[in-house]
Structure 1
Amino acid sequence: MTDIAQTTIIIGGVAAGMSAATRLRRLDEQANIIVLEQGEHVSFANCGLPYHVGGVIEERDALLLQTPEGLHKRFNLDVRTGTRVTAIQRDEQTVRVVTPGGASETLAYDNLVIATGATPFVPPLPGIERALTLRNVSDMDKIVAKVAEQPRHAVVLGGGFIGLEMAENLAHRGIDTTVVELAQQILPPFDPEMAAYVQAHLEANGVKVITGSGASSLTNTHVLLTDGRALDADLVVAGVGVRPDSDLAVQAGLTVTDRGLIVVDDDLRTSDPHIFAAGDATAKRDHVDDSLRFVTLAQRANRDGRMIADAIMGNSVPSNPVLGTAILGVFGLMAVATGWTETRARAEGRQIRVIHTHPGDHAGYYPGAAQMHLKLVIDAQTDAILGAQGVGTKGVDTRIDVIATAIRGGLRASELIDIELAYAPAFGSAKDAVNMLGYIADNLAAGMTTSIQWHELEAAMAEGSVLVDVRDPEEFASGSIPGAINVPLNALRERHQELPDSVIVHCQVGQRGHTAARLLTQLGHQVVNLDGGYLTWKIATAAKE
């Protein structure tokens, strides 16, 4: 504890800012702590905002976790809402603010914390002013008021997390909803074949999804698209993305990246030793290559705030790189991700191995098992886990948490075999889905199996590779990959001489394909297994059509 009470000013009163303020108070009862928030509310549950729009969270007040009065009473914090910081004057160690009444004021600090977060990006389109955004409680109130007018048609611009959460909740209100995404797929943190499951589920629940086309302009009644279509739109929500709210840092001459992210060191200090920055406005170090990333996650923002308070008190704990672990829920379906995608790894020139599996969330013989879709991205040279993704109605959240923990612990992909996970038939399998990823990774690393990805198959077949479907004839008849020949697994030993020396094999999800590959390899064939089987190929190619 310092001998003379210091003043810490915190700009921003939500996750990172309030975590810094309350942690600092717990460490130093004498500190003078001022929190400046330009909005009407502090410490609100911004991740819950879409669900009040949809009526899932019925009570608005449930989202208001704290009030300035409550924070003053419990933590002796000077929390000022409706107070906008207009400038940081580093030489004088002061900030200029505009109070709720419009008066200007100058406040001095010993330590300054910038926790301004991120702001919605609104594309500069004709008529875009009628589009609503969702960042805070006031934004939510405007959308709720518009929903109360009972609009018939809504268009959500952007197919990221916020856009899809809004689409789900507008649909819950009985509004005919369309998502428009300029990219070729929704959910950029996912690879296309994994995002395809989410798109199919949205469409099955009545939400229309348009990809590969964006808005060109808005009228009072329609959203006009770049492909010439006009969508009915009584309500428009812009969920195109966010940008770091770092204008104050830029104006103050602090170091930022070319994307405007505030650069901080391991103690979350900026290029000015008296100024810290936390949360969505800051650049995070990537766990794979240490590059600077834009990661907007509440868990990390809260952690940043705590670390800054520790650093101010001289108890610094170095900041760890980020994985970007995230989860999205739409109509009962979960989509989860951590680390790098296959798309990013290939763009960075990494030599990788990729695994798709489709296991049940618990033992198949116990009632209620639900299929999961899991993907693991592995560094082919080191066996390091680069990232993972999952989609399913049950179980994928726990699996991604295990894998994220394994990455943080430095486990290699093959070492997933030995993670001991709780098992009973109602909760898992004797060989858990995570363990199975390890078994497959170990087979690939040892050269026991060679696999090919769904997006590589067409070129391989064009070059003359023969594709053998080892499923049962009934499965083959219900749907097959064009050009495949059907030789069921149980007949493969007797009929293998009908096949050429080099073949690609596949089954429904990959397991029987592996068995076929091992059998044919030992019978003298050169064999590649289609990773993830027919199911992965089907969802991926359907999304491309």
Structure 2
Amino acid sequence: MNAENKRILIIGGVAGGATCAARMRRLCETCEIVVFERRPHVSFANCGLPYFVGDVIESEAKLLVASPELFKHRFNIEIHTETEVTRIDRQARLIEVRDLKTGAARKEPYDALVLATGARPVRPPLPGIDLPGVYVLRNIPDSRKIKAAVAHASRALIVGGGFIGLEMAENLVGLGLDVTLLELADQVMPPLDPEMAGYAAERLKTNGVKLRLGEGVEAFEQLPERGLSVRTSKGATLATDLVILGIGVRPESALARDAGLELGDLGGIRVDAYQRTSDAAIWAVGDVVEVKNRITQQWQLVPLAGPANRQGRIAATAILHHFSCSDAETRPPLAFEGVLGTAVCEAFGLTVACTGANEKQLNRAGMDFEKVYLHPGHHASYFPGARPIHIKLLFSKADGRVLGAQAVGELDVARAIDVIATAMMEEASVFDLEDLELCYAPQFGAAKDPVNVAGMVAANHLRGDLQLANWDELGSTAALLVDVRSEAEYASDHIPNSQNIPLESLRDRRRELPQSREIWLICGVGQRAYYAYRLLKQNGLQVKVLSGGMQTHLAWRRASDGEGLHRP
């Protein structure tokens, strides 16, 4: 076969489809490449939409990555916007399309077809869900509607505490609205574990967002004058001027399903490592496909721009390889090996980032893991402006392989997670993290970078130099709790039933501690407790450390609403 004059059709633009089209042209000048997009814009920055609503991005034009005219004149790619593909005829290798402006229908033949149909916002079948004033935010027309509504509103209700929910909360508060956020789960930010998500919840409340966790929507009703009445699962009735649904997205896979392509259990299209579907002439990329988690090896949906862009490049490469390679056994040069789910969000100056699996995913996959918490400064503590980064690192008990990381803070959070994500791509262990050589100057970091410290704490545990106590068992343990902070720190806040022996006096008072009873040590962030651990361990005592100290204790208290330390 030869790629010359092959006709390649792409259904959908934005990250996956537009990237695939541009990569295809860079690889093949003689192919005919046509993109069909049912919306008015073929390539736009949907991650910037909340900030357009909030007037942080003032010009709509800034959201437009590439126009149909640019694709035509720069790449010789034909773009048909406001054109819907209604059917795929796999036998004849045809698609049926309809021009949404004129209603005219036609058929288009293909040699290769790429599905980049994306995902649609979830709109549950609730009473009143289609009333005016209930919005989703997925594209530029959606953002225009919300901006128009916000101009005449003083109250807003956000349903869903994920990425969109947090970003919209920040932007609507910035516009002066009274904002309530409703989340059915017991935490915001589902990719994080509850104790880490608590930092974000606290920041929302501090900035005036009325946060209602463990509470969903049951119905919407139009108010007589203006606005909406929202009935919740806890029997409350909330009045608001507008509602924004941010409860997730689902793959737009109906076209693929109707064509008989294989779908996964989550409703996304199943593809191989080269983005090929169950039909040898059809590929799929972006939010419409299911992907393998690199850590748990389980299928999941990851509607993120980064993976979609990579998949677009891989699909284009594989298609051209398919046309030009006579040896069916020769593999395309690029493959998609799965996702870590690396993501970041910012709200009210707080950055939340994560990579890899969280505890919930690891437990579902039956994986044996350990965790450490640490709270280092983002740069050297003696240099002005140091801010803490709260880090949770998950790793394999067997070999120390890094399984996931979560971080929250005001500065350099994304950098720390990006370094860990890069290491995870190479299946690095915590021993590798402690050995990384990273940039250091006092205004940028520390001689022991936060990533290094995370690796050191975890590696110390695996080597047997540091035994960790389990925060989950704090409420039921028979261990003696010893707080090694100063008397003043202990007086300001401490774990109930703990005993205070400051580190500086521990050597002189170590004989006060029992030889036959396990001792759990705690300090501010974990460092002094580790010093105490080494001292007492070498004196024959049975000791463990509560990782991350009182900072982690406070996070767990937030996760359980101050009613004792237990997993919500």
TM-score after normalising by structure 1: 0.98
Structure 2 letter corresponding to 1:171:
V
Contact in 2 for aligned 1:342/1:354 (Cα 8 Å): no
Please state how far the C-alpha of 1:229 moved relative to its aligned partner.
Answer: 1.2
Whether contact under 8 Å (1:334, 1:391) holds in the other structure is yes
> 2:75 matched to 1:46?
no
Equivalent-residue separation in structure 2 for 1:44 and 1:542 (angstroms) = 38
- Show CA shifts across 1:258-292 (max 9, x none): 11111101111000000000011111111123221
From 276, 280, 287, the counterpart of 1:280: 287
CA distance in 2, matches of 1:345, 1:488: 37
Whole-angstrom CA distance in 2 between matches of 1:318 and 1:57: 35
How many Å separate the matches in 2 of 1:349 and 1:265? 25
Q: Which amino acid aligns with 1:533?
A: G
Query: Match for 1:385 among 381, 399, 402?
Result: 402
Does 2:257 match 1:250?
yes
Question: Tell me, what secondary structure is at the counterpart of 1:404?
Answer: helix
Could you report, residue by residue, the CA deviation over 1:466-509 in whole angstroms, capped at 9, with x for unpaired residues?
Answer: 11111101101111111111111111111122222321110011
User: Secondary structure of the equivalent of 1:280?
Assistant: helix
CA displacement at 1:344 relative to structure 2: 2.1
1:139 paired to 2:146 = no
Structure-2 residue corresponding to 1:490: 504
- Residue 289 of structure 1 aligns to a residue whose secondary structure is coil
Distance 1:496 1:457, change over 3 A: same
Match of 2:465 among 441, 448, 459: 448
In structure 2, give the amino acid aligned to 1:255.
E
1:28 is matched with: 28
Offset from partner CA, 1:46-105 (integer Å, 9 cap, x none): 000010000110111100121112211111111011101111110111111111211111
SS in 1 for 2:475: helix
Q: How large is the RMSD of aligned CA atoms in angstroms? A: 1.2
1:169-221 deviations in Å (ceiling 9; x for gaps): 11111100111000111111001111000010111111121111101111222
Deviates more, 1:387-396 or 1:447-456: 447-456
Q: Which moved more, 1:428-437 or 1:313-322?
A: 313-322
Question: d(CA) in 2 for partners of 1:153 and 1:55?
Answer: 17
Give the SS at the match of 1:9: strand
The residue number in structure 1 matching 2:269 is 262
8 Å Cα contact 1:503-1:526 kept in structure 2 = yes
Query: Given the alignment, which residue of 430, 442, 452 partners 1:413?
Result: 430
Letter in 2 for 1:116: T
The AA in structure 1 aligned to 2:300 is R
How many angstroms apart in 2 are the aligned matches of 1:416 and 1:126?
Answer: 51
Alignment of 1:174 with 2:176, yes or no, is yes
1:36 aligned partner, one-letter code: F
**1:6 matches 2:13:** no
**2:85 is matched with which residue?**
85
How many residues were matched structurally?
541
The alignment status of 1:118 with 2:125, answered yes or no, reads no
Distance in structure 2 (CA, Å) of the matches to 1:290 and 1:413 = 20
Letter in 1 for 2:429: R
Task: Give the match for residue 95 of structure 1.
Answer: 95
Q: Is the Cα–Cα contact under 8 Å of residues 96 and 107 in structure 1 kept in the other structure?
A: yes
Contact 2:377/2:386, CA 8 A, preserved across alignment: yes
Q: Deviations over 1:104-159 (max 9, x none)?
A: 1111100000001111001111111131001111111111111122x111000001
1:112 partner amino acid: L
SS at match of 1:132: strand
Q: Which residue of 2 aligns with 1:109?
A: 110
Residues 165 and 246 in structure 2, CA contact (< 8 A), matched pair in contact too: yes
Instruction: Tell me which residue corresponds to 1:510.
Output: 526
In 2, Cα distance between equivalents of 1:70 and 1:124:
40
Inter-partner Cα distance in structure 1 for 2:524 and 2:187? 24
Contact preservation (8 Å) 2:296, 2:361: no
Give the one of 202, 205, 219 matched to 1:203: 205
User: In the alignment, is residue 401 of structure 1 matched against residue 422 of structure 2?
Assistant: no
- How far apart in 1 are the matches of 2:71 and 2:269? 28
Whole-angstrom distance in 1 between the partners of 2:247 and 2:294: 26
- Secondary structure of the corresponding residue to residue 95 of structure 1: strand
Q: What corresponds to 2:324 in structure 1?
A: none
Q: In the alignment, which residue of structure 2 is the partner of 1:163?
A: 165
Matched, 1:362 2:364: no
> How far 1:343 moved relative to its partner?
2.6
1:472 alignment counterpart: 486
2:564 maps to what in 1? none
Aligned counterparts, 1:526-541, within 5 A: 526-541=542-557
Give me the whole-angstrom Cα distance separating, in 2, the residues matched to 1:275 and 1:19.
Answer: 17
**3-state SS of the aligned residue for 1:335?**
strand
Pair 1:229-2:236 in alignment: yes
1:267/1:316 contact within 8 Å kept: no
What is the CA–CA distance in structure 2 between the aligned matches of 1:410 and 1:320, rounded to whole Å?
Answer: 12
- Quote how far apart the aligned CAs of 1:316 are: 4.0
* Counterpart pick for 1:184 among 166, 186, 207: 186
Mapped to 1, the partners of 2:533 and 2:240 lie a distance apart of 53
How far is the alpha carbon of 1:3 from its aligned partner? Answer: 5.9
Cα shift at 1:363: 0.4
Residues in 2 aligned to 1:84 and 1:135: alpha-carbon distance in whole angstroms? 17
**After superposition, what is the alpha-carbon deviation per residue over 1:384-438, rounded to whole angstroms, capped at 9, x for unaligned?**
0000010000011111000000011222112211110010111110111111111
Q: Which moved more, 1:382-391 or 1:1-10?
A: 1-10
User: Contact 1:385 / 1:407 at 8 angstroms: preserved in 2?
Assistant: yes
Whether contact under 8 Å (1:51, 1:57) holds in the other structure is: yes
Give the secondary-structure state (helix, strand or coil) at the position aligned to 2:536: helix
2:309 corresponds in structure 1 to 302
Q: CA deviation at 1:540?
A: 1.7
Report the equivalent of 2:319: 312
CA–CA distance in structure 2, aligned partners of residues 378 and 77 of structure 1 = 46
AA paired with 1:121?
A: V
Please give the TM-score of this superposition, normalised by the length of structure 2.
Answer: 0.94
Q: Given residue 354 of structure 2, which amino acid in structure 1 is its aligned partner?
A: A
What displacement does 1:542 show? Answer: 2.3
**Partner-residue secondary structure (3-state), 2:376:** coil
Q: Distance in 1 between matches of 2:6 and 2:558?
A: 61
The one-letter amino acid of 1:536's match is T
Distance 2:423 2:212 in 1: 36
C-alpha separation between the residues in 2 aligned to 1:234 and 1:65? 32
State how far apart, in whole Å, the 2-side matches of 1:388 and 1:9 are: 39
99-108 or 372-381, which moves further after superposition? 99-108
Amino acid at match of 2:119: A
Q: Partners in 2 of 1:133 and 1:479 — Cα distance?
A: 43
C-alpha change, 1:87 and 1:280, in structure 2 (3 Å) is same
Residue-by-residue CA offset, 1:446-484 (whole Å, 9 max, x unaligned): 111111232221121xxx221111110110111111111
Using the aligned pairs only, state the percent identity: 45
> Which residue identity is paired with 1:89?
D
Cα separation, 2, equivalents of 1:4 and 1:279: 26
Which of 342, 353, 358 is the aligned partner of 2:359? 342
